[in-house]
Amino acid sequence: MTKLWVDPSRCQGHARCYALAPETFSIDEEGYAFVIEGREQSYNEDNVRKAIKNCPERAIKLDETE
């Protein structure tokens, strides 16, 4: 199973993921991104793939576990 998540140690709050895929990503009160609960499996959607490619800090991760 693959899970989408944002690495909080890498995120710098650029919010490009939120701009490209607001249905999957949100921003906390300090301006850092996170994956909305229940959207961890949305990594195949076009907007999410664009968000992954456009993150300047490469903070969006795909965790593949079995």
DSSP string, 21-53: -TTTEEE-TTS-EEEPTT-TT-TTSHHHHHHHH
The confidence score (pLDDT) of residue 43 equals 84
Comparing 57 with 66, the larger pLDDT belongs to 57
- Here the CATH number for the domain that contains residue 48 is 3.30.70.20
H/E stretch holding 19 reads: helix 16-20
Mean pLDDT (the chain) is: 93
Q: How many domains does the chain have?
A: 1
Q: Among residues of the chain, what percentage have pLDDT more than 70?
A: 98
The confidence score (pLDDT) of residue 50 equals 96
The confidence score (pLDDT) of residue 66 equals 57
pTM (predicted TM-score): 0.90
Domain range enclosing 8: 2-64
Parallel, antiparallel, or unpaired: how do β-strands 2-6 and 25-27 relate?
unpaired
